[in-house]
Amino acid sequence: MKDSLSLFNNHPNIWRAREQPANTSRFALGIHTLDEALHGGIPSAGVVSIACTTGIGEVSLFQQVISQQRKHKLRVFINPPAHVCAPWLTTQGIDISQVLIITPDNDADALWAAEQCLKSAACHCVLLWSKTMAAKTARRLQVAATHNDALCLLFSLASKKPSSLPVSLELSLKAHEANLTVDILKQRQGWPVHNLSVPFSWTPDNHAIQWAIKNNKRKVHSLHSVS
């Protein structure tokens, strides 16, 4: 019995609450309260599931992660619900020649494209919008991402309950006045944390509007798009 218990305790997927989280490579979001609750940020590889309503600033929340300088690595947007703004990417210091937009005909093709991108080892991050996600498919994306040092940001419709998907991190976002309310529904080697209020304005201020007017007067190179 003692030997069996020892084998159980030594399993790499077992985490005991009294232990500190493992020293996993992470990307900080640049928001102190959120990074602290996430033990330094989101994992640099694997799938991060984000349940939210579209258009509340969900992509901008990860702008520091997306703009991480990883030489010759692609940022891939798959099935985005709106136009991906090239000027915004440029202001984040992202070389738009390293940005690829894929607009598949259906969810199945979107999931297939995401897996191939993650397996290619050519991507820094894949941003995927999906209406359906089976546990088996999520596992394939998780394995492809972790094995190839890539990050997959999986955006789906808002949910109040954690899913059973085998992902590295599961978040829920909700807009509230000039803030985002963030729930950490599930994180590996850590506890759920609820009702984290993040000051966040998804409405452009005057400076942003003036910048957009000024810079959109000149020609902006189009992003690479694949249908």
pTM: 0.81
Judge whether 9 lies within some domain: no
73-88 per-residue burial string, b: 16 or more CB within 10 A, e: under 16: bbbbbbbbeeebebeb
**CATH number for the domain that contains residue 82:** 3.40.50.300
pLDDT in tens, 37-76: 999 999 999 999 999 999 898 999 999 999 988 778 999 9
C-alpha–C-alpha distance, residues 122 and 182, integer Å: 30
Judge whether 130 lies within some domain: yes
Judge whether 103 lies within some domain: yes
Strand 169-176 relative to strand 46-51: parallel, antiparallel, unpaired?
parallel
Q: What is the CA radius of gyration of the chain?
A: 19
Bigger pLDDT: 96 or 202? 96
DSSP secondary structure, 29-41, as one string: -S-HHHHHHTTSS
What average pLDDT does the segment 215-225 reach? 56
pLDDT at res. 12 = 47
Phi, psi of 183 (to 5 degrees): -110, 125
Least confident of 8-17, 106-115, 155-164: 8-17
Structure tokens at 64: 């520091």
pLDDT at res. 220 = 47
C-alpha–C-alpha distance, residues 63 and 146, integer Å: 21
Closest CA to 76 of 174, 151, 168: 151
Q: In terms of residue numbers, what domain contains 219? A: 26-226
Judge whether 33 lies within some domain: yes
Judge whether 19 lies within some domain: no
Judge whether 13 lies within some domain: no
Q: How many folded domains does the chain comprise? A: 1
Q: Cβ contacts of residue 191 below 8 Å, gap of 6+?
A: 17
Residue 160 · residue 195 · CB < 8 Å: no
Q: Cα 168 from chain centroid?
A: 11
The secondary structure element, H or E, covering residue 116 is: helix 107-119
Q: Cβ contacts of residue 82 below 8 Å, gap of 6+?
A: 54, 55
Q: What single DSSP character describes residue 59?
A: T
Helix axes 107-119, 135-147, angle to 10 degrees: 20
What average pLDDT does the segment 112-125 reach? 97
Judge whether 209 lies within some domain: yes
Judge whether 18 lies within some domain: no
Phi, psi of 61 (to 5 degrees): -60, -30
Bigger pLDDT: 133 or 113? 113
